[in-house]
Amino acid sequence: MFDRSGLPSAVTIYEVGPRDGLQNETVILPTAVKVELIERLAASGLPAIEITSLVRPDKVPALADAEELLSALAPLLDSHRMVVLVPNQRGLDRALSAGVREVAVFASATESFAKANLNSSVAESLATYRPVIEQARAAGLLVRGYISMCFGDPWEGKVSTGQVTRVAESLFEFGITELSLGDTIGIATPGEVINLLDALDSRKIARSSLAVHFHDTYGQALSNTLTALLEGITTVDSSIAGLGGCPFAKSATGNLATEDLVWQLQGLGIVTGVDLEALIDTSNWLSRKTGLPLRSKAAIALSNRKDGSK
């Protein structure tokens, strides 16, 4: 019997497919399909879903229907944890008028990615976020922070833990309620995960307020996740069908697939609340709607097993 000491008894899976996933795919889904996707994900038991981004519609055409989507999902905004990314004050204003309960802001550990993705320096982007976070908190919203490029950056190479802890401390000082540590190019290995979590620990940042966001570019996402769980992390980001390639690593393999994560956690006896069979049905439905092949290994294996039993 595997000794589970050190592992949490329950894990919160934070589903990023509808936002992080679809934003980075070339296929643009009709609003009605996105609505059905999100309803299916919620119905399968996923407790937290990032559903869209309130960026300028011309900047991210795949998510240009954010308001329409939010209005169609209005009942779910109250009953489920549904999170919307906001890039600035204008985005927060739109989120507030749409009745959103939780927003997310997206910071970078490195200057190169801040310049490429946010068109500002790290300090400038934090200065933009400060009033957004403060105002959101004052309005009673939860705020999730992201830090991307936490382990490596395509322009700068290795990222020091100090670069990450500096940004993390600022975001928590501004009032974020959860921080997701992004391995945006999927380059981390388990030892580096431990080093970063130790560094955050030394700055008195509680592990209960942290989430991990791994990409499978180098095949390390599940190893890194298991390492993070053994280190006391209990919130893990993943994406249905592994949606979302990585635009900076020229790889088809992007976000950790939710199906693979659920398979692992279920095998470990860790409670997620997710019905894996319902999730696999949604993977197959989504694959038909998008024309994209199944990318989750667990989804492929379980779907084949199902077909074989017919």
Q: Which residues are catalytic?
A: 246
Binding-site size, Mg ion (CB under 5 A): 2
Q: Which CB, 163 or 217, lies closer to Mg ion?
A: 217
Give me the numbers of helices (H) and strands (E) for the chain, helices first please.
13, 10
**Which residue from 65, 47, 49 is spatially nearest to 57, judged by alpha carbons?**
65
Q: Residue 146 Cβ, how far from Mg ion at the closest point, in Å? A: 9
State both tokens at 202. 């030394």
Is position 148 an interface residue for Mg ion (rule: CB under 5 A)?
A: no
- Segment contacting Mg ion (CB under 5 A): 19-27, 70-78, 185-193, 274-282? 19-27
Nearest Cα to Cα of residue 15 among 227, 252, 188, 259: 259
Q: Report the nearest approach of Mg ion to the CB of residue 306 (Å).
A: 28
Identify which of residues 165 and 255 has a Cβ nearer to Mg ion in the complex: 255
- Among residues 11, 12, 19, 20, which is the contact residue for Mg ion, using CB under 5 A? 20
| Beta-bridge partner residues of 85 | 53, 104
Is residue 175 left, alpha or beta, with left meaning phi > 0 and alpha meaning psi from -120 to 50?
left
Q: Which stretch binds Mg ion (CB under 5 A): 12-20, 73-81, 82-90, 200-208?
A: 12-20
Stretch 187-216 residues interacting with Mg ion (CB under 5 A): none
Phi, psi for residue 308 in degrees, rounded to 5: -65, -25
Q: How far is the CB of 117 from Mg ion (least distance, A)?
A: 12
Compare residues 117 and 303 and give the one whose CB is closer to Mg ion: 117
In the complex, the smallest distance separating the C-beta of residue 20 from Mg ion, rounded to whole angstroms, is 4
Residue 2: phi, psi to the nearest 5?
-70, 130
Parallel/antiparallel/unpaired status of strands 152-153 and 157-158 = antiparallel
Q: Which is nearer to Mg ion, 20 or 231 (CB)?
A: 20
Residues in region 216-275 near Mg ion by CB under 5 A = 255
Q: Which among 34, 21, 28 is positioned nearest to 57, based on CA atoms? A: 28
Q: Which amino acid is at 1?
A: M
Q: What residues make contact with Mg ion under the rule CB under 5 A?
A: 20, 255
